[in-house]
């Protein structure tokens, strides 16, 4: 039947209206953190970064401190701390362990089997350090003390996650002041724009400082801030330089002896170009070039190009968990209310997830370093735990959200760091185990340290290198990039060669196990009442060896290479311990023997590595081990440092208990202001949503982001699972777009009342993939550009 013209127009109008409504519903509120007062402590400042440079402005009205960072700025230098006689003690250490004399074995390890020198406590080990402080003193007519009582109004400090911009705005004596900050993804400089709605109202003094090892000078109207860090030998370590120029519209810029003064400007643009001589870079020429380019580019163009480049990564994923009652409040107030009643603000977990993605994009880039314990933000010279790379969970956790969150390429800096550990790791393998292949133990730095740490209680862990290989493998599992697999295969093989050579046979079980080793940082009681850390075959080692051997076997088949080595691993794998041994208590044993742990609520839960990040334990494939893992977590409890809480969140998500996972998410979003060194309970987040160990450690942010994604999508068990661990508070309605599943699938879906209502799955080529939707396992046809399917 032919429609009458008027009906046709009504239909078109209705369709347009419907489209507008749907578009409006799809549009989410801007993703932002905001506050109604300046930061009182660094843990309230706003983190900005472009993968190399970082800054954290405090938004001070009269005096503002902006902490600057360069991810490559490290003290220390390369060293060889291997004890090349260590392997001579290995037979005796192993004999003592086999005889149950672990405490005596540990004494021998401390004497002959740790690194030479002070290890991570020495100056040559080095630290990731702050670059310095950019200090701005603002001048107002009459030089008053600016407070609400003297006319300060409408203060607002904000971080836009959508645009990677921070702003500070306020009104003082009838004048509106505006500041914008960003670390440019375009010209690779720090940019600060200061304006007011009254001509000539911008006046300030700019200087730079640092706690040690710095000097300043003026070259024309360019403030230069430079120095050289301690390398731990002759004092002549890494060099750095920051150049600061002030570009004023109206007013004047005056060069002082060690500061810049701006008087009566309408608009001020501060540009900071900074760099180091890391890896022999010509940082002086490079910083000059970057500064010149930025100075000659219009601000609006610089800002737009910065946003566009950042958005190429950030806009890949959107998440809507619904809105709540608290979205209009400052972020610190939202955090306080969320901990009291989490169900009232479902948008906060979505914001926290996107904040994790934002931090990933901001703290690493191709060709540079992966994020360290601090990401790339450090306020001090002596950063906690040196701001280094811990290999017993922390650096791995930093990368867990990347693949599923559609930021796959940001895993490559870690792959580069690991490649750099192979050669020194080969020396360490020979020195301590007389083994082929390579090993890195529990800590490393930018200088390629692979030796055991300086104490047997934690430093002799065997798991570091194998665990890193799991991260490298994950990138292949998600992308199926054979060129990448071919590139990292020697790294994986070298790690497998080490374990193949270093494993010994346990006479009780006939299993191949590591010895000596530790379950990271944990200890146990011996039958004689003494305590020890050193053992053979801790569960995490057994799981890592099994996972690594399987991955190398798969890689060998995929690439069509190394059939002989593949056969060796296949044969050895038959006697590698199972993914877990269930103790009489119903829990997964942490050690080969059923030792009593000294701390049942210990922060590390290393014996559940097979549950996450590996896929050796799943409710579907290994229900008995999954039940034992659940009991293990019940005994461990829900508190701990922030990274521990995040790890437990991931475990509960893998066990598909959405409400328990949400309880852990609420726990990690617990507000805190503690900055002391903490090894036990008390983790949470600071007002700026950076995770608190305490002190600040960024791994909690990344672990929680991975956990939120894991609650929504899993793909480790041979199929894609939609909403595997959705909590009751998220079931009402929601949607997610752009997540990734293993096999290089991109997944988007919506749900209502806890049931998936539509989904889209795209892949690199046509085919079928197993997808679990609303409890049903289906074979779903996958095409590029697939139209959303209704349920």
Asked if 485 and 555 touch (Cβ cutoff 8 Å), the reply is yes
Rg of the chain over all Cα atoms, to the nearest angstrom:
28
Asked if 459 and 114 touch (Cβ cutoff 8 Å), the reply is yes
How would you label 179-203 residue by residue, b for 16+ Cβ within 10 Å and e otherwise? Answer: bbbbbbbbbbbbbbbbbbeeeebbb
**Side-chain-side CA neighbours of residue 254 (13 Å):** 11
Q: How many CB atoms lie within 10 A of CB 112?
A: 17
CA dihedral for 13, 16, 18, 24, sign (positive or negative): negative
Tell me what pLDDT residue 25 has: 37
Is residue 766 left, alpha or beta, with left meaning phi > 0 and alpha meaning psi from -120 to 50? beta
Residues 6+ apart with CB under 8 A from 420: 448
Please state whether beta strands 767-773 and 720-722 pair in parallel, antiparallel, or not at all (unpaired).
parallel
Tell me what pLDDT residue 766 has: 86
Tell me what pLDDT residue 148 has: 77
Q: Rounded distance, CA 106 to CA 88, Å? A: 15
Tell me what pLDDT residue 27 has: 53
Tell me what pLDDT residue 146 has: 82
Q: How many CB atoms lie within 10 A of CB 1?
A: 3
Q: Rounded distance, CA 224 to CA 204, Å? A: 18
- Which residues are 231's β-sheet partners? none
Is residue 278 left, alpha or beta, with left meaning phi > 0 and alpha meaning psi from -120 to 50? beta
What phi and psi, each to the nearest 5 degrees, are found at residue 491?
A: -70, -50
Please state whether beta strands 267-276 and 190-196 pair in parallel, antiparallel, or not at all (unpaired).
antiparallel
Residue 366 per-residue DSSP state: T
Tell me what pLDDT residue 540 has: 98
Asked if 326 and 338 touch (Cβ cutoff 8 Å), the reply is yes
- Residue 784, class by beta-carbon neighbours within 10 Å (0-12 exposed, 13-18 middle, 19+ buried)? exposed
**DSSP string covering 669-698:** T-B----S--SSS--EE-TTS-EESSSB-T
Of the candidates 583, 706, 563, the one whose C-alpha atom is nearest the C-alpha of residue 648 is: 706
Q: How many CB atoms lie within 10 A of CB 20?
A: 10
Q: How far is CA 114 from the centre of its chain?
A: 29
Tell me what pLDDT residue 151 has: 85
pTM of the model: 0.95
Is residue 175 left, alpha or beta, with left meaning phi > 0 and alpha meaning psi from -120 to 50? beta
Tell me what pLDDT residue 781 has: 87
Question: For the chain, which ranges sit under pLDDT 70?
Answer: 1-27, 785-791
Axis-axis angle for helices 563-573, 539-559 (nearest 10): 150
């Amino acid at each position: 039947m032919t429609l009458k013209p008027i009906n046709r127009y009504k239909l078109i109008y209705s369709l347009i209206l419907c489209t507008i409504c749907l578009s409006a519903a799809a549009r989410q509120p801007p993703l932002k953190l905001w506050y109604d007062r300046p930061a009182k402590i660094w843990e309230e400042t706003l983190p900005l970064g472009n993968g190399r440079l970082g800054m954290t402005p405090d938004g001070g009205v009269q005096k503002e401190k902006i902490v600057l960072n360069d991810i490559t700025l490290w003290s220390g230098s390369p060293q060889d701390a291997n004890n090349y006689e260590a392997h001579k003690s290995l037979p005796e250490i192993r004999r003592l362990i086999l005889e149950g004399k672990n405490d005596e074995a540990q004494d021998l390890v401390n004497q002959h089997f740790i690194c030479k020198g002070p290890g991570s406590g020495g100056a040559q080990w080095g630290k990731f350090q702050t670059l310095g402080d950019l200090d701005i003193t603002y001048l107002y007519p009459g030089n008053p003390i600016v407070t609400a009582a003297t006319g300060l109004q409408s203060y607002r400090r904000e971080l836009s996650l959508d645009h990677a911009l921070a702003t500070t705005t306020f009104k003082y004596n009838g004048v509106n002041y505006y500041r914008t900050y960003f670390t440019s993804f375009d010209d690779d400089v720090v940019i600060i724009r200061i304006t007011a709605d009254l001509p000539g109202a911008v006046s300030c003094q700019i200087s730079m400082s640092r706690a040690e090892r710095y000097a300043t000078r003026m070259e024309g109207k360019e403030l230069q801030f430079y120095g050289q860090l301690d390398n731990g030998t002759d004092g002549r370590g890494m060099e750095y330089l920051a150049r600061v120029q002030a570009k004023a519209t109206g007013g004047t810029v005056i060069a002082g002896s060690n500061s810049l003064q701006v008087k009566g400007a309408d608009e001020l643009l501060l540009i900071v170009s900074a760099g180091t001589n890391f890896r022999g870079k010509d940082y002086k020429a490079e910083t000059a070039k970057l500064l010149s380019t930025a100075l000659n580019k219009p601000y609006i163009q610089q800002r737009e190009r910065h946003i566009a480049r950042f958005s190429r990564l950030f806009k890949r994923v959107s998440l809507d968990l619904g809105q709540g009652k608290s979205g209009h409040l400052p972020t610190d107030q939202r955090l306080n209310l969320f901990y009291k009643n989490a169900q009232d603000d479902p948008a906060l977990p979505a914001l926290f997830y996107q904040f994790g993605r934002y931090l990933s994009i901001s703290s690493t880039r191709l060709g540079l370093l992966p994020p360290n314990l601090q990401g790339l933000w450090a306020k001090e010279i002596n950063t906690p735990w040196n701001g280094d790379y811990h290999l017993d969970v922390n650096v791995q956790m930093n990368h867990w959200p990347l693949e599923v969150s559609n930021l796959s390429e940001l895993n490559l800096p870690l792959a580069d760091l690991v490649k750099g550990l192979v050669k020194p790791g080969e020396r360490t393998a020979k020195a301590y185990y007389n083994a082929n292949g390579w090993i890195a133990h529990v800590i490393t730095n930018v200088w390629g340290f692979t030796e055991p740490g300086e104490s047997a209680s934690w430093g002799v862990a065997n798991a570091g290198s194998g665990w890193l290989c799991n991260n490298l493998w994950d990138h292949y599992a998600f992308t199926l990039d054979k060129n990448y697999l071919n590139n990292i295969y020697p790294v994986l093989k070298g790690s497998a060669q080490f374990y193949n050579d270093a494993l010994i046979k346990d006479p009780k079980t006939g299993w191949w196990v590591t010895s000596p080793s530790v379950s990271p940082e944990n200890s146990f009681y011996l039958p004689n009442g003494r305590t020890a850390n050193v053992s053979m075959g801790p569960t995490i080692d057994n799981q890592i060896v099994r996972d690594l051997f399987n991955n190398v076997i798969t890689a060998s088949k995929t690439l069509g290479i190394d059939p002989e080595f593949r056969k060796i691993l296949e044969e050895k794998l038959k006697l590698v311990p199972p993914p877990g041994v269930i103790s009489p208590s119903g829990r997964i044993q942490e050690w080969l023997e059923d030792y009593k742990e000294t701390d049942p609520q210990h922060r590390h839960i290393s014996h559940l590595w097979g549950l996450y990040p590996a896929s050796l334990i799943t409710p579907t494939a290994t229900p008995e081990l999954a039940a034992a893992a659940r009991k293990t977590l019940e005994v461990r409890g829900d508190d701990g440092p922030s990274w521990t809480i995040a790890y437990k969140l991931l475990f509960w998500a893998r066990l598909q208990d959405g409400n328990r996972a949400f309880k852990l998410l609420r726990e990690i979003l617990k507000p805190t202001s503690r900055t002391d060194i903490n090894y036990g309970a008390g983790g949470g987040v600071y007002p700026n949503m950076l995770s608190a160990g305490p002190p600040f450690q960024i791994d909690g942010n990344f672990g929680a982001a991975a956990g939120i994604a894991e609650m929504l999508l899993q793909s480790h068990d041979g199929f894609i699972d939609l909403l595997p661990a959705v909590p009751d508070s998220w079931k009402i309605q929601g949607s997610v777009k752009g997540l990734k599943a293993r096999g290089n699938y991109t997944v988007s879906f919506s749900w209502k009342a806890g049931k998936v209502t539509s989904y889209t799955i795209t892949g690199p080529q046509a085919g079928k993939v197993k997808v679990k939707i609303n409890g049903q396992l289906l074979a779903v046809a996958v095409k590029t550009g697939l139209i959303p399917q209704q349920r």
